[in-house]
Amino acid sequence: MSGRGKAADEPSSHSLETAARKRSRSLAALGYTKPQTYEELRAVLSSGTVHFPKRLRQVAIFLWQHPSEVALGTIAQVAEQAGVQPSTLVRFAQIFGYSGFSDFQLLFKDRMKGSWPDPQGSPDKAGEPNVDLHFLNGMVGACQASLGRIGNNFDIAAFETMVDHLAAAELIYVIGSKRAFPVTTYLSLTLSQQGVRNVLVDNVGSTALDQVGCITPRDAVLAVSFSPYNSITPDLVAVAHERKARILAITDSTFSPLVKLSDTWLEVVEQDFGGFRSLAASLAVGMALVHGVVARRTD
Amino acid sequence: MSGRGKAADEPSSHSLETAARKRSRSLAALGYTKPQTYEELRAVLSSGTVHFPKRLRQVAIFLWQHPSEVALGTIAQVAEQAGVQPSTLVRFAQIFGYSGFSDFQLLFKDRMKGSWPDPQGSPDKAGEPNVDLHFLNGMVGACQASLGRIGNNFDIAAFETMVDHLAAAELIYVIGSKRAFPVTTYLSLTLSQQGVRNVLVDNVGSTALDQVGCITPRDAVLAVSFSPYNSITPDLVAVAHERKARILAITDSTFSPLVKLSDTWLEVVEQDFGGFRSLAASLAVGMALVHGVVARRTD
DNA sequence: GCTGTTTTCGAATGATATTTCTATTTTTTG
DNA sequence: CAAAAAATAGAAATATCATTCGAAAACAGC
């Protein structure tokens, strides 16, 4: 919000050098021009041609998933939520050719401007006097928001491809840890209940690597992973990839390490509330996958 | 965006007088309390009971008509667009009981938060020509219906009791199988992440009975079970009951065998679609439980 | 395992935004 | 119509923010 006056000016002779040097290893070298709209930015981020180091990737993931926080917050607030230093945000913006964070933030503000949320359906709930009830409502809201996003932005083509591959597979390996584990357990359960043979790679007894070591090219892997991507899932999927199995992924951004390993992937972004993330959308998509596989196989 | 630190503090003895004098001819005298949400503010404005002088009326009209500008802009930008001085905006906010503009602006930001404009895809997908998409939408509908039922018919008293018992427990045993297992895995994971010690009774190695054999009266059992109630969950809970632990249950009808074994129980009814049941509501309630326990323990 | 480079962190700095205060104008009231 | 009260505008003061820069840490290449 501040420091815009000087920032908008042409750089002085000294900072010109600095800026030029920095930009040389930035997007200009890659033939990109400064994104003028939020959609352009999103396109550049998802193109996969830019590879960020850890902290900058963290920034990319955060603003991919929480654009409204970026639009509404100050640099300090955004930095704290994203878990980085404020200066990291400035660096990120400058890599894209902006003079600083404020300049960069305008993208998000412009995108948001004019779109005022409709009067909420719930007629004010008598002010939610109870703190626990407030949290519950927030959590329900997060679930519904996650589910709502499926309605729009759903890549039905990728979904169909995934179903085809899964239906054609000899054996389906289901992989996911931490937050994704509830999703994979339900997937495995419903697949089995529908008569689709599958292996849940749950790493009980630390046998996961041995399990994926048995994968053949005729098998398919259904992997689920959410940010932060610090579980063993990518390692396991990498092995499966080497063994030439089909890799199908459900994940929450293009920055997931699963994306470059997978034949087809679906983006499912879960909202969180108070640090607790919803799983509603992933489960719904997962059930749809199971249903689709069963339908293909019984045709 | 700035100057919030001091503003949030209690007014000093000098400004206390000033503020009190001002507030005496403000809304407090009219029996209004400081609006906590944008909706409340809007209600007050539209009630017609408040009569503003020229400039303040100008402000009221502007933020009625351009809420998103107020949320996104700085006080200077808003003031210019509204055609008033920045200090007028501060006065306006203070009349409503806020410490200043920043404080007041939070109403607008909060209202806007989380509502990111969707990329406006085709509104209704031409009647779902795709069978897979139809199922997915049905599944999403089932999830939303399940979540919707929480809003109404939620036994908040039972919920509070459950949280109290869980918070008081020495060790929490989480039990659930089949369909309920994804819920219990997520419960166990989030409890652990929040530093609440717990045991997930997952029956790996068929050790579940031995595990529950270690339960003491100071422990609590959080059991999840859905119909048909043909899993081993009731058996395990029965053992825990004999061992005089507190039993807290999430289940989907009064006919559940868990009901007569448990000290307190919550009814969460999940809808199904095409034989695939949603877990969204149970997960949301589960997260709320975890949140509640953490809140109780950190008091 | 070392060296040169890239990346990150954190404090210092310069700039902006918000608020307070006072003189002036407008409105109300006797 | 005059005097008092209220409201406003504008400037000064203060708190916060965004940015820069140098040092430390992490990383990659040899």
- For residues B21 and A190, the model is more confident at A190
pLDDT band at B10 (very low <50, low <70, confident <90, very high): very low
Is the pLDDT at A159 greater than 90? The verdict is yes
Chain B nearest C-alpha distance from A25 (Å): 32
pLDDT in tens, A161-179: 999 999 999 999 999 999 9
**Residue B201: per-residue pLDDT:** 95
Which residues of B are less than 8 Å from A137 in CB distance?
Answer: 151
Is the pLDDT at A81 greater than 70? The verdict is yes
**Residue A56: per-residue pLDDT:** 85
**Residue B200: per-residue pLDDT:** 96
**Residue B1: per-residue pLDDT:** 46
**Residue B125: per-residue pLDDT:** 41
The pair of structure tokens assigned to B98 is 């806020």
Q: Which residue out of A37, A68, A70, A116 would a mutagenesis test of the B interface target, given it has the greatest number of B Cβ atoms within 10 Å?
A: A116
- What secondary structure, in 3-state letters, does A185-209 show? HHHHHHHHHCCCCEEEECCHHHCHH
What's the mean per-residue pLDDT of chain A?
Answer: 81
CA–CA dist B72, A109 (Å, integer): 6
Identify which of A223, A178, A177, A180 has the alpha carbon closest to the alpha carbon of residue A198.
A223
> If you average pLDDT over residues B254-270, what whole number do you get?
85
Domain B4-112 matches domain B154-298 at the CATH topology level: no
The pair of structure tokens assigned to B83 is 């055609």
Backbone angles phi, psi at A76, to 5 degrees: -65, -45
Among 3.90.480.20, 3.30.9.80, 1.10.10.10, 3.60.21.10, name the CATH number for the domain at B4-112: 1.10.10.10
**Residue A2: per-residue pLDDT:** 40
- For residues A259 and B128, the model is more confident at A259
Is the pLDDT at B122 greater than 60? The verdict is no
**Residue B48: per-residue pLDDT:** 61
**Residue A127: per-residue pLDDT:** 45
Residues above pLDDT 70, as percent of chain B: 81
Cβ of B88 less than 7 A from strand D: yes
pLDDT band at B33 (very low <50, low <70, confident <90, very high): low
- Which residues are within 8 A (CB) of A130 and not within 5 positions of it... i.e. 6 or more apart? B156
- For residues B194 and A134, the model is more confident at B194
**Distance measured from the CA of protein residue B60 to the C1' of nucleotide C13, in angstroms:** 38
Q: Is B48 exposed, middle or buried (0-12, 13-18, 19+ CB in 10 A)?
A: exposed
CA–CA dist A292, A45 (Å, integer): 31
CA–CA dist B295, B299 (Å, integer): 6
**Residue A115: per-residue pLDDT:** 65
**Residue A122: per-residue pLDDT:** 41
**Residue A12: per-residue pLDDT:** 37
> If you average pLDDT over residues A226-235, what whole number do you get?
83
Picking from A1, A68, A284, the nearest residue to B143 by CB comes out as A284
- Could you give the C-alpha distances from B261 to B21, B230, B265, in angstroms and in order? 61, 16, 10
> If you average pLDDT over residues B11-22, what whole number do you get?
36
**Residue A39: per-residue pLDDT:** 80
**Residue B197: per-residue pLDDT:** 96
> If you average pLDDT over residues A266-270, what whole number do you get?
91
**Distance measured from the CA of protein residue A9 to the C1' of nucleotide D13, in angstroms:** 27
Is the pLDDT at A42 greater than 70? The verdict is yes
Least confident segment among A25-34, B81-90, B98-107:
A25-34
pLDDT band at A285 (very low <50, low <70, confident <90, very high): very high
Report strand pairing: A198-201 vs A172-175: parallel
The pair of structure tokens assigned to B149 is 């039922």
Taking residue B127's Cβ as centre, other Cβ atoms within 10 Å add up to 6
CA–C1' nearest nucleotide, residue B24 = D6
For chain B, give the DSSP string: ---HHHHHSPPPHHHHHHHHHHHHTSGGGGT-----SHHHHHHHHHHS-----HHHHHHHHHHHH-HHHHHHS-HHHHHHHHTS-HHHHHHHHHHTT-SSHHHHHHHHHHHHTT-PPP----TTGGG---HHHHHHHHHHHHHHHHHHHHHSS--HHHHHHHHHHHHH-SSEEEE--GGGHHHHHHHHHHHHHTT--EEEE--GGG-HHHHHTT--TT-EEEEEE-SS--SSHHHHHHHHHHTT-EEEEEESSTTSTTGGG-SEEEE-PPPEETTEEP-HHHHHHHHHHHHHHHHHHH-
pLDDT band at A25 (very low <50, low <70, confident <90, very high): very low
The pair of structure tokens assigned to A253 is 């951004």
Identify which of B110, B73, B111 has the alpha carbon closest to the alpha carbon of residue A102.
B73
**Distance measured from the CA of protein residue B114 to the C1' of nucleotide C17, in angstroms:** 25
pLDDT in tens, B48-87: 666 777 778 878 877 777 888 888 888 888 888 888 888 8
**Residue B18: per-residue pLDDT:** 37
Identify the DSSP state of A84.
S
CATH 3.40.50.10490 applies to domain A156-297:
yes
**Between residues 139 and 158 of chain B, which touch chain A (CB distance below 8 Å)?**
139-140, 143-144, 147, 150-151, 154, 156
CA–CA dist B63, B264 (Å, integer): 48
Contact in structure between A7 and A15 (CB atoms under 8 Å): no
Report strand pairing: B220-225 vs B172-175: parallel
CB distance A288–B150 less than 8 Å? Answer: no
**Residue A192: per-residue pLDDT:** 95
Closest residue, chain A, to B192 (C-alpha)? A178
Determine the CATH number of domain B154-298.
3.40.50.10490
> If you average pLDDT over residues A125-146, what whole number do you get?
78
Contact in structure between A284 and A292 (CB atoms under 8 Å): no
Edge to edge, what strands does the sheet with B246-251 contain?
Answer: B198-201, B172-175, B220-225, B246-251, B264-267
Picking from A2, A68, A122, the nearest residue to B115 by CB comes out as A68
> If you average pLDDT over residues B151-162, what whole number do you get?
88
Is the pLDDT at A238 greater than 60? The verdict is yes
What's the mean per-residue pLDDT of chain B?
Answer: 80
pLDDT band at B219 (very low <50, low <70, confident <90, very high): very high
- Could you give the C-alpha distances from A178 to A182, A224, A242, A281, B168, in angstroms and in order? 8, 10, 24, 17, 26
> If you average pLDDT over residues A22-39, what whole number do you get?
58
> If you average pLDDT over residues B2-17, what whole number do you get?
36
pLDDT band at A1 (very low <50, low <70, confident <90, very high): very low
**Distance measured from the CA of protein residue B92 to the C1' of nucleotide C23, in angstroms:** 21
pLDDT band at A63 (very low <50, low <70, confident <90, very high): confident
**Residue A23: per-residue pLDDT:** 37
- Protein residues closer than 7 Å by CB to strand C: A 1-6, 25, 53-56, 84-88, 91; B 1-4, 7, 11, 14-15, 18, 53-54, 74-76, 86-87, 90, 93-94, 99-103, 105
Is the pLDDT at A255 greater than 70? The verdict is yes
CB distance A133–B143 less than 8 Å? Answer: no
Question: What ranges do the domains of chain B cover?
Answer: 4-112, 154-298
**Residue B49: per-residue pLDDT:** 63
Is the pLDDT at B127 greater than 50? The verdict is no
